[in-house]
Each structure stands twice: as C-alpha cells, then as structure tokens.
A and B are shown apart, each in its own frame.
Chain A
Amino acid sequence: GAGVSQSPRYKVAKRGQDVALRCDPISGHVSLFWYQQALGQGPEFLTYFQNEAQLDKSGLPSDRFFAERPEGSVSTLKIQRTQQEDSAVYLCASSLQGSLSETQYFGPGTRLLVL
C-alpha cells in the first residue's frame, strides 16, 4: 500500500475489556514498530519486529500487552484487561530493511480510550 494503515482509528473500551489493534505496514517493509503516545507526550517505544521475529519487547509496560506478527506482514497489538492508564494513541511504524540506518514511517494511530 501507499503507507502504513492502522485499524480501528478509534476504540472505546470498558475497563477490563480486551482490545486488539491492527497494523498493516508498507508492503515489503521488514521492520515493524509499535509505540504508545500519551496525551501531550512524544511516542514511546513498545516493541520491534523484524519479519515475524519479535526482537525487542522491552517497552511493553506489563504482561497485559502482547504483540504478534505471525506472517511477517500484518501485526496485532493486544491489550488484555484494559486499564484507564492504557488510554493513549498507539502508533505503528515500518521501515524497509531493518538496518540501523533505516528510517521509520508512521501510521495514523489508533486512539484508545478506556472508561
């Protein structure tokens, strides 16, 4: 596709509900990143995939957060038993090859509100 797409764009969840956020990276991009952006803050790294391998998940805030990319393209970020502090924009980014000089291109984000 022309760019990184994310769905849904908006999600309202009741506290305790599970949610799944989807990311479609740019076609052919090897690397995929998930970030969390709280209101008024910069994005914060959550996790990184190279193809289907999750190489870094050091930014996931708790074991309620889980990400997967089973076929090396589409990725899903799942949040179990959502809490109010999970309310944020979740951004996905992809890059072409995954080398250390590659730059990332972001999707529009999913805005999650937990009530």
Chain B
Amino acid sequence: GQQLNQSPQSMFIQEGEDVSMNCTSSSIFNTWLWYKQDPGEGPVLLIALYKAGELTSNGRLTAQFGITRKDSFLNISASIPSDVGIYFCAGRPSGTYKYIFGTGTRLKVLA
C-alpha cells in the first residue's frame, strides 16, 4: 500500500540535542498528524496540523504543515532519553477519511 516518504529512517543523537525529521508526499493533503509509537503499543498523537503553513508546538515538539501541502516536519528540542521511539507522520488526502502513514523515523537518544 501507499506510504509517505519519511526521513531520516533512523537516528542516534546525544541527550540535549535537537532533532528534525520530515515527511513528503506526491499528493496534496488537508491534514498532517505526527505520532509516536513505543514498542508494543499503538501510536500516540503528538501534534495535529490543519492548515498550510501552520506551525504548532506541544512542549518541546514543533511541527509545521508545508505551504505546498505536500510535506511536514517535526522538530524535537533538547532531546531526553524518553524521546526514544518511532515517530510517524500521517496525512489525509482531500475528500477522504483515511490517513496514509509514513515509513517511520526510529529515534535513539544516548544519555
């Protein structure tokens, strides 16, 4: 099935560093979501974006809905060990209810 391009696929960072990941699509989306998934659990919603150009923060997390409506990025500032996990972007095409997910970014934080 269709999945969005998400990069990087994985990254190791030192505690305290900032992290950036992005997601691109060949299609226009009306909504972008960012999720974090821990092993053995379902994805947990981090940030939701509904307008092109929108920049939204949730604590140390900041995400933006690209102005072309074909991309989004997520930044994590001052990473901590509990940030480890898999981060997924998800976009919803216009006129549909379903979300298409990215391939995931696996984040590991070194203390």
A98 to B50, CA, bound (A): 15
The answer on a CB contact under 8 Å between A41 and B42 is no
CB-CB under 8 A for A44 and B1, given A31-B97, A33-B98, A55-B97: yes
In the complex, the answer to whether A43 meets B88 with C-beta atoms within 8 Å is yes
Q: Of B13-21, B58-66, B70-78, B101-109, which binds chain A? A: B101-109
Tally of contact residues, A, Cβ under 8 A: 28
A45 and B1 in contact, given A33-B98, A101-B50 (Cβ under 8 angstroms): yes
Taking CB as reference atom, which chain A residue is nearest B100? Answer: A45
For the complex, is A59 an interface residue (Cβ under 8 Å from B)? yes
Q: In the bound complex, do residue B31 and residue A101 qualify as a contact, i.e. CB atoms below 8 Å apart? A: yes
Does A103 lie within 8 Å of B3, measured CB to CB? no
Do A100 and B92 have beta carbons less than 8 Å apart?
yes
Query: Smallest CB-CB separation from A48: which chain B residue?
Result: B97
Would you give the shortest CB distance from A72 to chain B, in whole angstroms? 16
* A106-B42, A106-B44 as given contacts; A98 in contact with B103, CB under 8 Å: no
Contact of B26 with A by CB under 8 A? no
**A residues near B100, Cβ cutoff 8 Å:** 45
B104 A42 Cβ-Cβ under 8 A: yes
- Chain A residue nearest to B2 (CB atoms) is A44
Q: Would you give 10 A-B contacts (Cβ < 8 Å), ordered by A?
A: A42-B88, A45-B1, A48-B97, A50-B97, A91-B43, A100-B30, A100-B92, A101-B31, A103-B33, A106-B44
Other A-B contacts than A42-B6, A44-B101, A58-B98, 17 sampled, CB-CB below 8 A, are A31-B97, A42-B3, A42-B90, A43-B88, A44-B3, A45-B100, A55-B97, A56-B98, A59-B1, A93-B42, A100-B97, A101-B50, A103-B45, A106-B35, A106-B43, A107-B42, A108-B41
Q: Which A residues are within 8 Å of any B CB, using their own CB? A: 4, 31, 33, 35, 40-45, 48, 50, 55-56, 58-59, 91, 93, 98, 100-101, 103-109
Give B contacts to A, CB under 8 Å: 1, 3-4, 6, 30-31, 33, 35, 40-45, 48, 50, 88, 90, 92, 95-104
